[in-house]
Structure formats: structure tokens, C-alpha cells
Chains A and B, each alone.
Chain A
């Protein structure tokens, strides 16, 4: 435990620049959206306190917005607002609206009717009654709403990193992808601390006596504005081309670290979720992205892979990895899974991915069509000899593979299948397998080598250029360390790749990563 803490501190010290800028971004995101939510929510709350017949509708809509899952809400925002801070701020402010509107409404309707009548009877105008009586008396309740909204926002803002808006989510989701507990904690602990600190500070403001609340009410917007401005300090953009890398790619030796080390590539980089990365490249919000070489969107969005002329990206041959326990328990399993061995080439996988990612066909349909074309499809036997649990990571290719395996198992054996798809990144999938939550999932040799085994640099350098030796090393080590067996590779190599829009690559005359680096350097 002590060692763990030590290394966490080491990590935070190492990454202190990043940690600081992410924390500031996080605070900025939280408060800029909070500020806008107050600007919108407070008047709305006042209006519905005046016209009560509107209150049901307004509170209803705000309530529905609140129930939309955060990732879905961010997803809705992208077609309208693109990527980056704008959609993140809008999504956050939508979450903050409900508590602010509701508490303003409750606070103002809760003001003693006698006091209001006295104010009117003394000759105050509606505006004076609002400003001098209703708002000050409702302030503790309104502040409670703002407090709730702040804590919600600190939490939801971690998801902003999905759409390249920064914040502590970069560490959290990067850490989950990279199987790096320190990185997760370096993001999660400051995020939790921020929530606790802001909650505490606002509780102090709330507890101030009525008199001081008047001053507090003026000070609060100023402080909020100040905190909101943090967001703009670190986001001063520079450079000509913008790269969007996934959190996982950012922290990998065979990712951004290797690009810097081996190629000396220096490019303005934002962190983004791979679900929106391709679209963002297509819409010219990004110029260079870290994609997968078999991704269907490569075809859909006219992107081109830059050649890895210094060989930093290791081979990523996909193969099912199965726990030894499952192989013993289900003797038919290995044979069945190996039916797929060698059948899917890079171009077939790209095509299959294209059909799910771009044509929006269901993974089931794509899986069935593929098996039929290879004459491998057999109707389900509906056997009851046991349930095999299939896992998959949260992207299209893994969904297709999981479906293909499910159909093979149902058609060729008497086992039944339960699929646990969408298990986030590598860490979540792999932990599920070692903790006997799933029986197998498709993994990639490169991921096994670097993210899971975290093989020493000299070993990696020795074997990385050869797909056979990589596979053999990974297979032996997994067996030794985790009692997990790598079955025969499926055939395709879904390696990391840098990609650009075809048109732009042609215009800039960039075909390899070295050429990209030279182009960037020449324009400094």
C-alpha cells in the first residue's frame, strides 16, 4: 500500500504540469457552465414562480434533461456543436439547470406571503419586491441548488475529456485504457477533492447569516467568473495542425510517447474519445488522429494511414484470449473459437467495421452475413450444456467479433452464451477475465505486450517488428502469469496508425510520419 502511494505521488509529481492544467480546465469547465446555468436558471425559476401554470412544464423538461445519461448527452451535442469545450459546456449546463431552477422556484414561492404583502403595500414595485425581498429571502435555498449543481458538474465534467474538452477525465479514462491505476487515481482523487472542497465552501456561504448573504450574493458571481476564466488560460491554441489522440494513445510507448521519442513529432494535441475522433477529422476540426488501421470509418471519411517508417507501432493481431479454467470447463470451446482463425484479413475487417460504424448495420447482421459468406454459419442448437460468457471492449469491431463467436458457439456446440459487451477499455475487460466475470474476449497482441504485460523496453524493441515473436512472447507470458491462453490469431492486424484526410495529406505531400514531422518543423 505504501509503495502504491509512493508511486502515485511520483506519478503526480512527474505529471504535475499536466495535472495542474487539467485541474484548472476542470474547474473552469465546472464554473463556466455553472455561471451560464445560473444566468439561465435563475430568471426561469423566477418566471415560473410568478406564472405557476408554467412550472410543471419547465421543471418537467429540466427533469428529463437530467435523466439523459451524460455520455448520451455529450453524443447528442457533437453533430450540433462539434467537439471541444462548447458541447461540453452546454451538456454540463443542462445538468446544472434543474437544481437551480427548482430551488429558485421553491425558494421564491416559499417566501412568507405576509412579508411579500407588506412589501407591496408599502409601495414597492414588482422589481423592488423581487430584488429586496424575494431574492434575499430565497437566497439560502437558491444557494443550496447551486451547491448541488456544482457537485454534479464536477462529476460530469470528467466526461468532457471524451469530446476533447480536457479536464481530469483525461487521466481517469486514459488510466482505465492503459491499465494504469496511478493515472486513474491522479485524475480521480483531485476530482473528488474538488467536489468536496466546493461543496464545503458553498456550505459556508449558505450558513452566513441573512445580513451577510447580501454581500455574498454579490461576491459569488465574481468568484464564479474568476474560476470560470481558468478554462481559457490553458487553452491558448497554437500551431498549424491539430492532432486528436485518444487518452489511451496519449500515454502509450507505442503511441504519443513513441511519436515524440522516436520521431521527435511535436504537434498541438487534444485528447478525445475515439467514438467522435474520426468524425472530427472528417469535419476538419482535427487534422491528425490516432486511429486503428482496420477501422471502418477510415473508408467512410476518406482518411489515409500515414506510413510508420520507424516502426513504433507494434503488430496488433487479434486473437481470443481464454482463461484456462474455461477451457477445462468447456472442452469444445477452443476448437470452436479456432474456426475463425485466419479467416478475417485487414480488408475484410475494415469492410465489416465500415458496415457497422458507417452504414449502421447491427453487429448481429454483419456477423451472420460474414459467417454465411464463409460457409461457417450454422443455426443455433439451443443447447443447455452451460453458459459461456463473452466479453468485448466498447467499440464496433469487438462487438462484431463477440457476435461471430456467439453464433459459432451456439451453432457448433451445446453451450449457451451470455455476452457482456461494452466493457470499457482494456483494463476493465482484462480485470473481468482474471476475476472470472467473463470466459474470454478478443485481445490484440500489441495491447497484451504493452498495456497488460508492460514488457521492459529492451524486450519490446527486440520483438516488436516481428508479429510471430510478439505473439509467442505474449502467449507464453500470459500463460505463465495469469493462466490465460491466447488462441490462434484471427488474421487481421488492427494496429495503431496516424491518419489524415486524404485531400490534406495529398496537398501537404505527407505520406509517412517522418514527412509529417518535417512538414511541422518547416512551418515553425
Chain B
């Protein structure tokens, strides 16, 4: 869907982006991860021509983005900014209606779409006539997301979209983000410096350093087959949590022993990760949790000790990925 070929951007003698290539499939979420100044934001902004590349080309759906007027291109790409970039002199409704207005939608269509989005994003319609400074940070970010989604553009670019939020709000929005069906059919490229966020939201993660791509892959690939010490060092600090987030119950399936004591009917999908499984022990009154494997329709009832044992076994087995 999106293809970047040998992209470079020079600011004077500085190579902000140096010969970067990647592809993002339709419906995929690709995260550009790296420290500040690694060139990830510059790469993102070249995709909607906020920055023109010095070298290389970008195509979306097989069409070179240079063949279109930049304004026209941008109206077909959603964009979410770190500090939300809402117009302070526009109400929430007006902010959301910016792109529809540019696309000359009629009022009824805009209104219908706005109401629909607000509902999906858990925003009360009473905020429609409020100004951005009257909203909380999380609400502002939701409005920013609504503004990017309203025209239903197939591509969404997100520049540190949750960077300005506190940890609690961010975790909450992450969960909503993953659950939002609007986003499931979109091709998303997101920039972040937050490893947790990248691993939670990204189907694939691209780690950048000094303008170059260091490694591209799924969270598991990055975690268990790092390309070099830069990648493993980058992930080291949060390694345990990342592993718990990355390893899914289905990966441990063969190592889990069924205690056979199904004392209750709550079910947890085997597609969930270790972290979620451990959390669910916290919330249940029982000693066991029931895990269902969607593929085999098999249900295993597992104790906390069994779970941890399976996890340790999994970690000790040799990697062949």
C-alpha cells in the first residue's frame, strides 16, 4: 500500500534521513521507533509532503505521491499530531469538520459522521460546542483523532499521538485504540519514542537511529532476534514487560497443562498475551483461569504456577525464528 524507496533528506550537511526504504501493507500498523533526532518524524512528514525528500520516492497504492497536488494528497491522508494541533478558535465540531469542509461535504453528512465518530471515541456530544482549551488532554487527543478519521481516509499518519498524555490516560487510550474498528481497516504509520507503545500498537516496528533503519520486524522478532546490540540495548530496560506483552498464550499452548478443574465459566482467549493473563488472576476470585484456543476450540483451565512454568519453559527453548 505504502512504499518508500531509498528516501533521504538532507538539511544542509546533516543527513536527517539516510537512504530509508520500507513497505507497509494495507490494514497494517507500522511504528517508527527511535530516540529524538533519529529521523523518524522527518520520514513520516515526507509521506504527506510536509517535507519534500532530497532523494528517493514514495508511492501510495502504486501511485507516486508527487503526481498529486500536495493539498489534494493531504486531504486523503489522516494526520494526528503530538500536541493535537486543534484550532483553538474553533469549537470541537468545527475542528472535526475542517477536512469535510475542504472536501465540500454538505452539513448533514458532516454532522452524521461527527456524531458517529464521537460515539465510537466515547466523547459526549455536549462537547461539540466547546473549545479545545475546555477539554482534558485525553479528550483533546480524541478530538484530534476524530478530526483525522472523519473523512475516512485509508491512510493515517500519527506523530507521537499519545506523547503528551499521562501514563494512566495513555494506557486507557491504547486499549480503546486497539479496539476501534475504524482503525482496523486503516493503513497506519505511527511515530513514537515509547517502546511500550510501539510494541502494544504496532503490527510491525521499524527501529531507526541516525537517519537509518536498524531493524524492521514484528515485536517478537525484535525482542528475540535483535539484529545487533543497538536493538537489544534499546529494548533492555523494559525487556521483561515487553516479553510478557509480546508472548501470547497460544505460543505456550503445548506447554500448558490443564488442571481440569473448571470451577467457573469466564473465558480468556489464547490470542491474549502473558501480561493480560497475569492481570486476570488479579481480578478473579478463583485459583484457575480458563483459556480458550480459538483454532482448536479446546479449553484449558490453568493455575498461576502452571502459567509461569510454561512461560519459563518457552523462554528456555532455542529460537528458530
Question: Could you list some 30 contacts between A and B, CB below 8 A?
Answer: A114-B81, A114-B83, A115-B85, A115-B86, A115-B87, A115-B88, A117-B85, A118-B84, A118-B85, A118-B86, A118-B87, A120-B50, A120-B74, A121-B79, A121-B81, A121-B157, A122-B79, A122-B98, A122-B99, A122-B147, A123-B74, A124-B102, A125-B71, A133-B87, A136-B89, A210-B88, A211-B89, A211-B91, A211-B131, A213-B89
* 14 additional A-B residue pairs with CB within 8 Å, beyond A118-B85, A123-B72, A123-B99: A114-B81, A115-B85, A118-B81, A118-B87, A120-B50, A121-B48, A121-B50, A121-B79, A122-B147, A123-B71, A128-B102, A211-B89, A213-B89, A214-B89
Contacts A122-B75, A123-B72 hold; do A114 and B102 have CB atoms under 8 A apart? no
Does any Cβ of B come within 8 Å of A119's Cβ? yes
* A137 engages B89 (CB within 8 Å): yes
State in angstroms the CA–CA spacing of A112 and B74 once bound together.
20
Q: Residues 43-80 of chain B: 1 if any A CB is under 8 Å from the residue's CB, otherwise 0?
A: 00000101000000000000000000001111111010
Which residues of chain B have C-beta atoms less than 8 A from A121's C-beta?
48, 50, 74, 77, 79, 81, 85, 157
Q: How far is the CA of A118 from the CA of B77 in the complex (A)?
A: 12
A132 CB, min distance to chain B CBs, angstroms: 8
Which residues B12-66 have CB closer than 8 A to chain A?
48, 50
CA distance in complex: A213, B74 (Å): 29
Question: Shortest beta-carbon distance, B286 to chain A, in Å?
Answer: 49
Contact of A123 (CB < 8 Å), options: B84, B86, B102: B102
Q: State the Cβ distance, B31 to closest chain A Cβ, in Å.
A: 19
* A432–B83 alpha-carbon span in the complex (Å): 66
- Distance of A118 from chain B, by nearest CB (Å): 3
Q: Which residues from chain B sit less than 8 Å from chain A, CB to CB? A: 48, 50, 71-77, 79, 81-89, 91, 98-99, 102, 131, 147, 157
Give chain B residues whose Cβ lies under 8 Å from the Cβ of A125. 71
- Tell me, in angstroms, the Cα distance from A122 to B88 when the chains sit together: 16
Which among B86, B88, B147 has the greatest number of chain A C-beta atoms within 10 A? B88
Q: In the complex, A211 Cα to B99 Cα: how many Å?
A: 20
**Distance, CA A123 to CA B71, complexed state (A):** 4
- Docked Cα-Cα span, A118 to B81, in Å, equals 7
Q: Is A117 a contact of B88 with CB atoms below 8 Å?
A: no
What is the 8 Å Cβ interface bit string for chain A, positions 174-205, against chain B (1 contact, 0 not)?
A: 00000000000000000000000000000000
Q: Which 5 A-B pairs have the closest CB atoms?
A: A118-B85, A123-B75, A123-B74, A121-B79, A210-B89
Pick the contact of B131: A120, A122, A136, A210 (CB < 8 A).
A210
Q: In the complex where A121-B48, A124-B102, A210-B131 touch, is A114 in contact with B72 (Cβ < 8 A)?
A: no
A residues 102-153 near B (Cβ < 8 Å) are 112, 114-115, 117-125, 128, 132-133, 136-137
- Are A114 and B85 in contact, with the CB atoms below 8 A? yes
Within 8 Å CB of A119, what residues of B? 85, 87, 98
For the complex formed, measure the closest distance between the CB of B214 and the CB atoms of chain A, giving whole angstroms.
27
CB-contact partner of B74 in A115, A122, A137, A210, under 8 A: A122
With a CB–CB cut-off of 8 A, which chain A residues contact B99?
122-123
Cα(A257)–Cα(B75), bound, Å: 74
A122: which B residues are within 8 A, CB to CB? 74-75, 79, 98-99, 102, 147
CA–CA, A136 and B88, complex, Å: 10
A115 CB contacts on chain B under 8 angstroms: 85-88
The interface residues of chain A lying within 8 Å CB-to-CB of B71 are: 123-125
A19 to chain B, nearest CB (A): 43
Q: Which residues of A contact B75 (CB under 8 A)?
A: 122-123
Q: Which residues of A80-119 have CB atoms within 8 Å of chain B's CB atoms?
A: 112, 114-115, 117-119
Contact, CB under 8 Å: B89 / A117: no
Distance in angstroms between the alpha carbons of A117 and B83 in the assembled complex: 11
Interface centre among A112, A115, A117, A125 (most CB of B within 10 A): A115
Among the interface residues A117, A121, A128, which one has the most CB atoms of the partner chain B within 10 A? Answer: A121
In the bound assembly, the distance between CA atoms of A112 and B89 in angstroms comes to 12
Complex CA–CA separation, A128 to B87 (angstroms): 13
> In the complex, A137→B131 CA distance in Å?
14
By the criterion CB–CB under 8 Å, are A117 and B72 in contact?
no
In the bound assembly, the distance between CA atoms of A123 and B77 in angstroms comes to: 9
Interface residues of A in 279-307 (CB under 8 A from B): none
| Chain A residues whose CB sits within 8 angstroms of the CB of B89 once the complex forms | 136-137, 210-211, 213-214
**CB of A115 to closest CB in B, whole Å:** 5
Interchain CA distance A136-B50 in the complex, whole Å: 23
Find chain A residues with CB under 8 A from B84 CB. Answer: 114, 118
Contacts of A124 in B (CB 8 A): 71, 98, 102
List the A residue with the shortest CB-CB distance to B144: A118
Distance A116 CA – B85 CA, assembled complex (angstroms): 8
Contact B81 A117 (CB under 8 A): yes
Task: Select the residue from B82, B87, B147 with max chain A CB neighbours within 10 A.
Answer: B87
Q: Report how far A117 CA is from B80 CA in the complex, Å.
A: 11
Distance in Å: Cβ of A131 to nearest Cβ of chain B: 12
Cβ-closest chain B residue relative to A139: B89
- Residues of chain A within 8 A (CB-CB) of B79 are 118, 121-122
A136 to B91, CA, bound (A): 14
**In the complex, what's the smallest C-beta–C-beta distance from B158 to chain A, in angstroms?**
11
Contacts of A211 in B (CB 8 A): 89, 91, 131
Contacts of A117 in B (CB 8 A): 50, 81, 85
Q: Quick one: closest B residue to A116, CB to CB?
A: B85
Residues of chain B contacted by A120 (CB below 8 angstroms): 50, 74
With a cutoff of 8 Å between Cβ atoms, the chain A residues found around residue B86 in the complex are: 115, 118
Query: Across the interface, which residues of A come within 8 angstroms of B50, CB to CB?
Result: 117, 120-121
Looking across the interface, which residue of chain A has its beta carbon closest to that of B75? Answer: A123
- In the complex formed, the residue of B with least CB distance to A128 is B102
Q: How far is the CA of A120 from the CA of B89 in the complex (A)?
A: 16
Distance in angstroms between the alpha carbons of A137 and B81 in the assembled complex: 19
Could you tell me the distance between the alpha carbons of A112 and B83 in the complex, rounded to whole angstroms?
10
Q: How far is the CA of A122 from the CA of B102 in the complex (A)?
A: 9
* A143 → B minimal CB distance (Å): 14
Q: A119 to B88, alpha carbons, bound, how many Å?
A: 12
Please give, as numbers and ranges, the residues of chain A lying within 8 Å of B76 by CB-CB distance. 123
Per the bound structure, the CA–CA distance linking A118 and B98 in Å amounts to 11
Q: How far is the CB of B123 from chain A (nearest CB, A)?
A: 19
Q: What's the Cα separation between A417 and B77 when bound, in Å?
A: 82
| B89 to A, closest residue via Cβ | A210
Task: Give which listed residue, B88, B91, B102, B147, contacts A137 with CB less than 8 A.
Answer: B88
Shortest C-beta distance, B91 to chain A (Å), equals 8
The smallest C-beta distance from B321 to any residue of chain A, in angstroms, reads 37
A210 CA to B74 CA, complexed, in Å: 27
Expressed in whole angstroms, the Cα–Cα distance for A229 and B84 within the complex equals: 46
Distance A134 CA – B117 CA, assembled complex (angstroms) = 28
Shortest B157–chain A CB gap in Å is 8
In the complex, what residue of chain B is closest to A120 when comparing beta carbons?
Answer: B50
In the complex formed, the residue of B with least CB distance to A136 is B89
The CA of A119 and the CA of B101, in the complex, are separated in Å by 13
How far is it, in angstroms, between the C-alpha of A210 and the C-alpha of B76 when the chains are bound? 29
Give the CA-CA distance A121 to B76 in the complex, in Å: 10
Nearest to B148 among chain A residues (CB) is A122
A122-B79 Cα distance, complex, nearest whole Å: 7
The residue among A118, A132, A210 with the most chain B CB atoms within 10 A of its own CB is: A118
User: In the assembled complex, how far is the CB of residue A469 from the closest CB belonging to chain B, in whole angstroms?
Assistant: 77
